[in-house]
């Protein structure tokens, strides 16, 4: 049930992020979650979108270097301690979190989604389900 994240490598200079988001906007791509990590010369934009195939195609056609990675989207209660409960389930199962970021999509229901990249996706998903967490699939992400 992992969802697909698109990672894009961008040169770290003014206008590069804006240019990429304009390309996506012109193609009608809706961003569901986004994270930006940077180094001195380059940045990595990680994003969850409504249409992975279309996004990858548009990026490639416009000269961007992008990759698709499986990640887990976990619904958590949007309240104090919500994230801690998910991390406890990971710790109990011996799962290491490589990185994570948030999406407030679904906030109207009092929930938020955390996006996690882990090495053992299937093991992490099983641990989260066993702990009672709801995971989003690609279809659910497209509806957010």
Structure confidence by residue, pLDDT tens digits, 12-58: 889 999 999 999 999 999 998 999 988 888 899 999 998 999 999 99
Q: Rounded to whole angstroms, how far apart are CA atoms 11 and 88?
A: 36
Question: Model's pTM, two decimal places?
Answer: 0.85
**CA-closest candidate to residue 131, choices 102, 90, 95:** 90
pLDDT tens digits, one per residue of 94-104 = 999 999 998 86
- From residue 51, give the alpha-carbon distance in Å to each of 96, 133, 140: 28, 25, 11
Q: With residue 52 as reference, give the H or E element that holds it.
A: helix 52-61
The residues near 62 (Cβ < 8 Å, ≥ 6 apart) are 23
Domains of the chain (ranges, CATH numbers): 3-69 (3.30.2130.10), 71-143 (3.30.70.260)
Position 74 confidence tier, pLDDT thresholds 50, 70, 90: very high
Query: End-to-end distance of the chain based on CA atoms, in angstroms?
Result: 16
Question: Which two tokens mark 142?
Answer: 């497209």
């Amino acid at each position: 049930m992992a969802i697909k994240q698109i990672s894009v490598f961008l040169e770290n200079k003014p206008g590069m992020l804006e240019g990429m988001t304009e390309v996506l906007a012109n193609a009608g791509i809706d961003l569901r979650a986004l994270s930006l990590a940077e180094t001195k010369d380059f940045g990595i934009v990680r994003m969850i979108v409504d249409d992975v195939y279309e996004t990858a195609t548009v990026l490639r056609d416009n000269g961007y270097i992008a990759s698709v990675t499986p990640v887990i989207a976990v619904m958590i209660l949007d309240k104090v301690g919500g994230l801690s409960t998910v991390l406890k389930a990971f710790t109990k199962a011996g799962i290491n979190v490589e990185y994570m970021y948030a999406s407030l999509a679904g906030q109207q229901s009092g929930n938020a989604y955390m996006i996690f990249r882990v090495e053992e996706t299937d093991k992490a998903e099983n641990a989260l389900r066993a702990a009672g967490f709801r995971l989003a699939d690609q279809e659910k992400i497209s509806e957010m």
